[in-house]
Amino acid sequence: MSIILDSPLDMHLHLREGEMLQCVAPLTARDFAGAVVMPNLISPVDSEHKLSQYRRDIERVCGQELFTPYMTLFFRPYRLAELEKVKDQVIGLKLYPAGITTQSEAGVTDFSEIEETLQHMQDLSIPLLVHGETSGFVMDREREFIEVYRDLAVNFPKLHIIMEHITTADSVEFMERYDNVSATVTLHHLMITLDDVVGGFMQPDLFCKPIAKTPRDRGALRSAVFSGNPRIMFGSDSAPHPRHRKECVGCAAGVFTAPVALPLLAQIFAEEGCLDLLQSFVSDNACKRYRISPPEKRITLTEKEWVVPELYGTVRPFYGGERLFWAVNRDGE
């Protein structure tokens, strides 16, 4: 059995810099027509100059692949003139509460101080992508942040707000209530719960922010995605860290799913008997919600066994060393 996907998109991706960028970016660029690139570099992407430099670096390592990096700017207070200048170079601004995850120290500390920037974004139709977690108890962080989302959605009704990598039943329910709110869902949060991370031997490769939640939460995500909710887009949140930063004291957060994303998505959609809904999850919903037209790129997936490499460079991928039952057809294979 085979399935053809038109212009698959990854609406939330970490590509890093330097050698890591060189290692991971081509893996996404060969399977996807485009991806929304996160700005949480060591020095955050928060100026027009850093933005164009980062885009150039990405384009260089992706070579001839038909692939659009949809760039994001790291959210900080911006003046109207600054946003007017970058408007056509970004798909949105990514807001991190300060210190909530990897390289987010320069994020927002006081939400009452950002209203002017949000107003400019609304006026210029620049979407707001949000890492929605408080600094509360780890299992409650996303639920507690819903109050912030509600204020944003109500006070800026024309601002497109994207709840990134939602993991809870509450988030699904909240998102459905406001027309200006969308969400991304990762592959791993459709597949694992907290039990997979710490229920047996601890699995550093499955540790991420937001942490995987309960079976009920995963069930709510799966029901929403497998029923074809048009507000939900695929965003892998593929977040590579070298093995020595995962298997150590102070394990870095992030699951590296880029090389297995499409095969595993095909696999879980096929298991649910809803392969016909994969196209909208990995492309059409995003095109409509963001009003984008990615390059035309057809990716064929076939039911075929392969074993995921244990390592890509220094990074252990999701399902490393394990057998998958769907594969991306590659030219010449």
Sequence-distant (≥ 6) Cβ neighbours of residue 283 within 8 angstroms: 5, 6, 7, 8, 9, 33, 294
Q: Residue 289's binding partner, choosing from Zn ion, ligand DOR, none, with beta-carbon cut-off 5 to 8 A by kind?
A: none
Residue 70: phi and psi, rounded to 5, are: -90, 110
Question: Which residue's CB is nearer to ligand DOR, number 7 or number 103?
Answer: 103
| Whether the Cβ atoms of residue 299 and residue 326 lie closer than 8 Å to each other | no
Question: Which residue's CB is nearer to ligand DOR, number 12 or number 297?
Answer: 12
Active site residue 151: no
**Which stretches does DSSP call E strand in 48-160?**
68-74, 92-95, 128-130
Q: Which stretch binds Zn ion (CB under 5 A): 84-92, 196-204, 230-238, 310-318?
A: 230-238
> Can you name the residues that pair with 70 across neighbouring β-strands?
36
Min dist CB 38 to Zn ion, Å, is 5
Min dist CB 85 to Zn ion, Å, is 25
Question: Which residue's CB is nearer to ligand DOR, number 34 or number 97?
Answer: 97
Can you tell me the distance from the alpha carbon of 326 to that of 302, in angstroms, rounded to the nearest whole number? 6
Can you tell me the distance from the alpha carbon of 161 to that of 118, in angstroms, rounded to the nearest whole number? 11
Q: 270: which 2 tokens?
A: 């096929």
Q: Residue 83's binding partner, choosing from ligand DOR, Zn ion, none, with beta-carbon cut-off 5 to 8 A by kind?
A: none
3-state SS, residue 89: helix
Min dist CB 310 to Zn ion, Å, is 24
Q: 319: which 2 tokens?
A: 């399902």
Question: Which residue's CB is nearer to Zn ion, number 3 or number 233?
Answer: 233
Q: Residue 101's binding partner, choosing from Zn ion, ligand DOR, none, with beta-carbon cut-off 5 to 8 A by kind?
A: ligand DOR
Does residue 237 bind Zn ion (CB under 5 A)?
Answer: yes
Min dist CB 187 to ligand DOR, Å, is 13
Q: Residue 40's binding partner, choosing from ligand DOR, Zn ion, none, with beta-carbon cut-off 5 to 8 A by kind?
A: ligand DOR
Q: Residue 208's binding partner, choosing from Zn ion, ligand DOR, none, with beta-carbon cut-off 5 to 8 A by kind?
A: ligand DOR
* Catalytic option among 46, 237, 276, 331: 237
Min dist CB 65 to ligand DOR, Å, is 23
CA distances from 321 to 139, 141, 168, 188, 257 (A): 30, 33, 29, 16, 13
Min dist CB 235 to ligand DOR, Å, is 11
Closest CA to 270 of 303, 234, 299, 307: 303
Amino acid at 21: L
Can you tell me the distance from the alpha carbon of 80 to that of 186, in angstroms, rounded to the nearest whole number? 33
Q: Which stretch binds Zn ion (CB under 5 A): 154-162, 194-202, 233-241, 267-275?
A: 233-241
Does residue 10 bind Zn ion (CB under 5 A)?
Answer: no
Q: Residue 35's binding partner, choosing from ligand DOR, Zn ion, none, with beta-carbon cut-off 5 to 8 A by kind?
A: none
Question: Which residue's CB is nearer to ligand DOR, number 213 or number 297?
Answer: 213
Question: Which residue's CB is nearer to ligand DOR, number 41 or number 265?
Answer: 41
Can you tell me the distance from the alpha carbon of 239 to that of 245, in angstroms, rounded to the nearest whole number? 12
Chain residues in the site for ligand DOR (CB under 6 A): 14, 40, 101-102, 131, 208-209, 239, 253-254
Q: Buried b / exposed e across 124-161, counting CB within 10 Å, b at 16+?
A: eebbbbbbbbbeeeeeebbbebbebbeebbeebeebbb
State the residues that interact with Zn ion by CB under 5 A: 237
The residues annotated with a catalytic role in the active site are 237
